[in-house]
Amino acid sequence: MKTTRNFARGSLAAIVISASSTFSYASPQDYEFQLVSAEVKQGPDAEVSVRLIDKRNGQPVSDAVIFTTRMDMAPEGMETMTTPLGELPSAEAGTYKFKTNLSMEGGWRFQLGAKVQGEGETVSGEVVVKATP
Ligand SMILES: [Cu+2]
């Protein structure tokens, strides 16, 4: 009898733990944008892909809506040198693909803002792409 009661208590505790981890809200710091490739060939039809990762479990976040982007040459001291970006369809879940005009060789700073499903606050991040000849 004693064994049965302990077992019941143990499984109740397990349910409480899994429920709280499912419903606790993540903070925007739990997410990170990562470049799929650090170097991209310079040119008017350059394609840049970023992966959005949930750092708590290392998993890609596939249902994010990217709503702001900015690409500029801040890493080369040219913050005012910006270039347009357009989102492209992505074949891989958790990866977001963009077309842009990397008109100059060197470092380009890519800033992104995203809405993640179930996340109240905006997730933002930046990566530096190197445009190569
Ligand atoms: Cu420049």
Over residues 105-113, the mean pLDDT reads 98
Q: Which domain holds residue 95?
A: 26-132
Question: pLDDT higher for 16 or 106?
Answer: 106
Residue type at position 55: K
- Whether residue 1 is contained in a domain is answered as no
The CATH number assigned to the domain holding 52 equals: 2.60.40.1080
pLDDT in tens, 15-37: 444 444 444 566 888 999 999 99
- Whether residue 115 is contained in a domain is answered as yes
Query: How far does the centroid of ligand 1 lie from the alpha carbon of residue 78, in Å?
Result: 6
Query: How far does the centroid of ligand 1 lie from the alpha carbon of residue 44, in Å?
Result: 14
- Whether residue 123 is contained in a domain is answered as yes
Query: How far does the centroid of ligand 1 lie from the alpha carbon of residue 107, in Å?
Result: 8
- Whether residue 64 is contained in a domain is answered as yes
**In this predicted structure, which of 12-21, 31-40, 124-133 has the lowest mean pLDDT?**
12-21
For residue 24, give the 3-state DSSP assignment.
Answer: coil
For the chain, how many structural domains are there in total?
Answer: 1
- What is the rounded CA–CA span in Å between residue 96 and residue 80? 25
Query: How far does the centroid of ligand 1 lie from the alpha carbon of residue 76, in Å?
Result: 7
Number of Cβ atoms within 10 Å of the Cβ of 96: 25
Question: pLDDT higher for 24 or 59?
Answer: 59
Residue type at position 60: P
pLDDT in tens, 61-99: 999 999 999 999 999 999 999 999 999 999 899 999 999
- Whether residue 11 is contained in a domain is answered as no
- Whether residue 90 is contained in a domain is answered as yes
- Whether residue 8 is contained in a domain is answered as no
Which residues lie below 8 Å from residue 113, measured CB to CB, with a gap of 6+? 66, 67, 68, 69, 122, 123, 124
Query: How far does the centroid of ligand 1 lie from the alpha carbon of residue 39, in Å?
Result: 16
In percent, the amount of the chain with pLDDT more than 90 equals: 74
- Whether residue 106 is contained in a domain is answered as yes
Beta strand extents in the chain (DSSP E only):
31-35, 39-41, 43-54, 59-60, 65-73, 78-83, 85-88, 95-102, 106-115, 123-132
Question: CB–CB of 89/97 below 8 Å?
Answer: yes
Query: How far does the centroid of ligand 1 lie from the alpha carbon of residue 3, in Å?
Result: 71
- What is the rounded CA–CA span in Å between residue 15 and residue 23? 12
